[in-house]
């Protein structure tokens, strides 16, 4: 199959490229325009990730279904005394303008109430420091989506102008407009902005790294072409998934960066192997010049075919292992993890398709130009640099010498690396997980400032820490509410409110953080109560608890799937049971170290100043799951790259030590180059503002750095040297099975 794909790409490169051009344009068009005028960013969701069927989700659904109140658009004004003379008269035109907007059903501010600011009902609308107030416009809940958006825009535009109109009365007045829809838009817009920022940083630097690796623009452009095609395919895949399931806005960035990184990885391997095969063909026999004249384009076709048959098979093994790792997310209940799993598998397949078809077609079209050094190698200053960085066909290099040193004292190197990894992993011992809300937005976000201002100056208008939905009467709920007020950590209980056939009870915990241990403790205490009627406990802490329990419930299934699939795939590739077990153990060590650095940097806040974020007190629950799945898959990516070359040499008859040493030399340049590029790609997204994107980008960049250096360059050679012939051990029945079903080049 692989040789057939290579033959197709070599014989009909223009046709293959033409098909991809059409697919890429269609992918970007779908992502930007959508199927019904809604692009991928319009269709994604935002907010706290929930667990389908959980108590917290059921409670939220009951409240949403029973609510007959429209969205409120609020302006929080500060720097102005509500009792300022002539303020009420100044607000009259504003109230009239807002009331005249189609879709607005009420306009409320403290001065509009009977008695003005002295009315008890006005107190929640007055700032705690006496220097500000709220003005609220409520929208009709029966508005269609289009009507709602039009009304929201009109109200927001009118409220934005209020501070300027009041400066004649209070020169220092400031105002912030906010609503639930504006918060959602802020998150979605930040996702889009972070995606653009990441690409602007990552793509140019990645191109420069590839130019250094290949010594020219032409070879470097081919993996980049595959990456752009993968982004288009990934975005189109995400758009399709939005019609099948809820897709959180953060998934867009995570999946895009995965496709970008994998495409570059696979493209690097394919281009490097093609140049190696082209040199082997054209430099053999009667010499390069005569070989070129004799073989002509046949050499190109042969090199492309062999490249797909060898490196293409390696890429396929890698893609399958990565896809299996990510597919482990599909067994979890939270919809965000299912979406990441489905979208991740889709983008891996797109990256694989570009590597097996588009990149080989581009190689065939380039012909023998990649045989010769690029134009940059003729520049005197760059010639010496590229001689060290550009890929070369030699078995004597820095990685060979590194392997020799490791093989001389394998126990010493093994012990040193294990000690470093264990130290890096220590912070995992105090890992805390969270399901944050507005805290995900940067501190300078207008909507975050709005929410923070409400919490500080207008606490009565903020949501309670915990909301209990009860199937009972208001009277019974009131009696039970007095018991709730006596629970540890409870600061107060709001008066029960009838919500359709249910009752809502707001419980305020003794904390300003709705997701901390105090809030979680209150949730557990309430859920342990038996009031004699059915209750559902909701809120950030409740949702967080449900999410963690869902992770724990699906964890062992996910681990079993990934472990079994990894062992089977590596056995089919190598015929060894030991290789698979070793890969799982080394990857686990690498993961632990990466998570430890993540906890130290983000949960403990040691990198807050450097990376520009406010610590949330823990690691996001779904970030933790995504990082483990993606980091394990990418680690297996490099494991397959390295093993494939060692295995070739082993099958060619080299002894184990030599196979490891030469295999490292021949693959390490691509592994380190690919790792450098993917670190840049993930690092580019650390420059974004959304906290979850920072966490994912940083964690995966660190995971790749650790894996491509300490693990692949030192730990794997040391362990394989110590194991020797035992590397290839398998029970006799499995050896017989492998002889029949092995997958080799």
Q: How far apart are CA 141 and CA 71, in angstroms?
A: 7
What is the Cα–Cα distance from 711 to 250, expressed in whole angstroms?
Answer: 30
Q: What is the pTM for the complete model shown?
A: 0.81
What does the pLDDT read at residue 734? Answer: 86
Nearest to 61 by CA among 499, 645, 365: 499
CA-based Rg of the chain, rounded to a whole angstrom? 30
Q: What pLDDT does 15 receive?
A: 92
248 closest CA partner among 116, 336, 338: 336
| Of residues 302, 316, 301, 297, the one with CA closest to residue 356 | 316
Closest CA to 631 of 716, 540, 701: 701
Tell me the C-alpha distance between 700 and 691, whole Å.
14
For the packed helices 359-366 and 217-242, what is the interaxial angle rounded to 10 degrees?
Answer: 160
Topology alike, domains 72-178 and 464-538:
yes
User: What does the pLDDT read at residue 33?
Assistant: 78
Contacts of 336-339 spanning 24+ positions with Cβ under 8 A: 336/49, 336/246, 336/248, 336/250, 336/251, 336/622, 337/49, 337/622, 337/625, 337/626, 338/245, 339/241, 339/245, 339/246, 339/247, 339/248, 339/251
DSSP string over 31-65: HHH-SSS--HHHH-B-SS---TT-HHHHHHHHHHH
Tally DSSP H helices, then E strands, for the chain: 28, 11
Residue 734: other Cβ atoms inside 10 A: 14
Pick the closest to residue 311 from 274, 280, 350 (CA basis): 274
Q: Which residues contact 648 (CB under 8 A, 6 or more apart)?
A: 310, 663, 745
DSSP state of 249: H
Domain ranges of the chain: 2-37+184-429+546-741, 72-178, 464-538
pLDDT given for residue 474 in this prediction? 92
Fold observed for domain 72-178:
Alpha-Beta Plaits (3.30.70)
Look at residue 52 in the predicted model and tell me its pLDDT.
85
Strand 619-620 and strand 433-434: the pairing is: parallel
For 408-427, the pLDDT digits (tens) are 999 999 999 999 999 999 99
Query: Within a 10 A sphere around the Cβ of 88, how many other Cβ atoms?
Result: 17
Burial of residue 374, with CB atoms counted within 10 A of its CB: 0-12 exposed, 13-18 middle, 19 or more buried? buried
Residues of the chain with pLDDT under 70: 36, 47-48, 213-216, 284-297, 372-397, 742-745
> Phi first, then psi: what are they for 616, rounded to 5°?
-95, 0
Best CA proximity match to 704, nearest among 610, 553, 607, 597: 597
HEC letters along 271-304: HHHHHHHHHHHHCCCCCHHHHHHHHCHHHHHHHH
What pLDDT was estimated at residue 287?
41
- Give first-to-last CA distance, the chain, whole Å: 11
Cα gap 409→417, rounded to integer Å: 13
Burial class (CB in 10 A: 0-12, 13-18, 19+), 717: buried
Q: Which CATH class is domain 464-538?
A: alpha beta
Map 463-495 to HEC letters.
Answer: CCCEEEEECCCHHHHHHHHHHHCCCCCEEEECC
Distance from C-alpha of 334 to C-alpha of 345, rounded to nearest angstrom: 17
Closest residue by Cα to residue 78 from 128, 116, 122: 128
Q: Are 105 and 155 in contact (CB under 8 A)?
A: no
Is the distance from CB of 302 to CB of 547 less than 8 angstroms? no
- Number of neighbours of residue 454 by Cβ within 10 angstroms: 19
How do beta strands 466-470 and 132-139 pair? unpaired
């Amino acid at each position: 199959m692989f040789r057939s794909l290579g033959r197709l790409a070599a014989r009909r490169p223009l046709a293959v490229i033409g098909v991809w051009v059409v697919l890429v344009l269609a992918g970007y068009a779908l992502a930007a325009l959508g199927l019904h005028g809604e692009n991928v960013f319009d269709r994604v969701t935002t907010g706290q990730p929930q667990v389908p069927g959980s108590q917290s989700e059921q409670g939220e659904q009951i409240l949403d279904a029973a609510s007959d109140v429209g969205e409120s658009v609020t302006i929080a004004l500060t720097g102005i005394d509500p009792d300022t003379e002539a303020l009420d008269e100044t607000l009259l035109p504003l109230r009239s303008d807002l009331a005249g907007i189609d879709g607005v059903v009420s306009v409320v501010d403290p001065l509009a109430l009977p008695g003005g600011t002295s009315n008890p009902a006005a107190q929640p609308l007055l700032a705690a420091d006496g220097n500000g107030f709220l003005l609220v416009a409520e929208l009709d809940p029966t508005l269609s989506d289009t009507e709602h958006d039009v009304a929201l825009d009109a109200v927001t535009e009118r409220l934005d102008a209020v501070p300027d109109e009041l400066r004649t009365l209070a020169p220092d007045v400031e105002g912030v407009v906010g609503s639930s829809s504006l918060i959602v838009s802020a998150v979605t817009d930040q996702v889009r902005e972070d995606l653009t920022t990441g690409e602007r940083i990552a793509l140019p630097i990645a191109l420069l790294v590839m130019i250094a690796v290949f010594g020219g623009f032409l070879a470097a452009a081919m993996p980049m072409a595959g990456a752009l095609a993968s982004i288009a395919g990934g975005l189109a895949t995400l758009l399709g998934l939005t019609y099948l399931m809820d897709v959180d806005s953060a998934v867009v960035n995570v999946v895009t960066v995965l496709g970008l990184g994998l495409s570059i990885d696979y493209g690097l391997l394919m281009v490097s192997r093609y140049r190696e095969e082209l040199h082997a063909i054209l430099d053999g026999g009667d010499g390069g010049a005569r070989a070129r004249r004799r073989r002509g384009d046949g050499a190109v076709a042969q090199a492309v075919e062999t490249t797909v048959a060898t490196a293409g098979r390696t890429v396929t093994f890698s893609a399958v292992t990565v896809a299996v790792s990510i597919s482990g997310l599909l067994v979890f209940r939270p919809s965000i993890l299912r979406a990441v799993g489905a979208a991740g598998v889709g983008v891996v397949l797109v990256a694989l398709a570009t590597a097996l078809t588009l990149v080989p077609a581009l190689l065939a079209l380039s012909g023998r130009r990649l045989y010769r050094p690029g134009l940059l190698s003729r520049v005197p200053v760059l010639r010496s640099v590229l001689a060290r960085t550009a890929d070369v066909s030699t078995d004597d290099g820095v990685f060979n010498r590194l392997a020799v040193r490791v093989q001389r004292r394998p126990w010493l190197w093994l012990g040193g690396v294990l000690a470093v990894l264990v130290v890096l992993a220590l912070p995992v011992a105090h890992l805390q997980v969270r399901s944050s809300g507005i805290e995900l937005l940067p501190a300078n976000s207008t909507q975050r400032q709005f929410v923070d201002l409400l919490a500080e100056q207008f606490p009565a208008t903020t949501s309670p820490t915990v909301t209990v939905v009860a199937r009972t009467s208001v009277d019974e709920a009131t009696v039970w509410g007095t018991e709730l007020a006596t629970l540890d950590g409870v600061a107060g209980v709001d008066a029960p409110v009838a919500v359709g056939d249910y009752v809502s009870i707001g419980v305020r915990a003794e904390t300003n953080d709705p997701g901390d241990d105090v809030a979680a403790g209150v949730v557990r205490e309430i859920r342990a109560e038996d009031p004699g009627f059915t209750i559902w406990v909701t809120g950030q802490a409740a949702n967080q608890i449900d999410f963690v329990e869902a992770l724990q419930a699906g964890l062992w299934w996910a681990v079993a799937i990934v472990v079994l699939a990894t062992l089977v795939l590596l056995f089919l590739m190598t015929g060894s049971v030991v290789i698979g077990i070793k890969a799982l153990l080394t990857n686990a060590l690498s993961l632990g170290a990466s998570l430890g650095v993540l906890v130290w940097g983000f949960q403990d806040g040691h990198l807050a100043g450097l990376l520009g974020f406010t610590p949330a007190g823990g690691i996001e629950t779904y970030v933790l799951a995504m990082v483990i799945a993606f980091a394990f898959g990418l680690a297996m990516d490099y494991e397959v790259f390295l093993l494939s070359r060692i295995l070739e040499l082993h099958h060619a008859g080299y002894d184990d030590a030599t196979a490891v040493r030469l295999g490292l030399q021949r693959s390490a340049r691509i592994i380190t180059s690919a790792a450098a590029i993917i670190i840049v790609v993930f690092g580019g997204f650390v420059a974004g503002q959304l906290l979850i994107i920072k966490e994912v980008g940083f964690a995966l960049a660190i995971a790749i750095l650790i894996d491509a250096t300490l693990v692949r360059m030192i730990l794997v050679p040391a362990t394989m040297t110590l194991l020797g012939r035992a590397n290839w051990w398998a029970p006799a029945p499995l050896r017989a099975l492998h002889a029949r079903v092995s997958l080799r080049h």
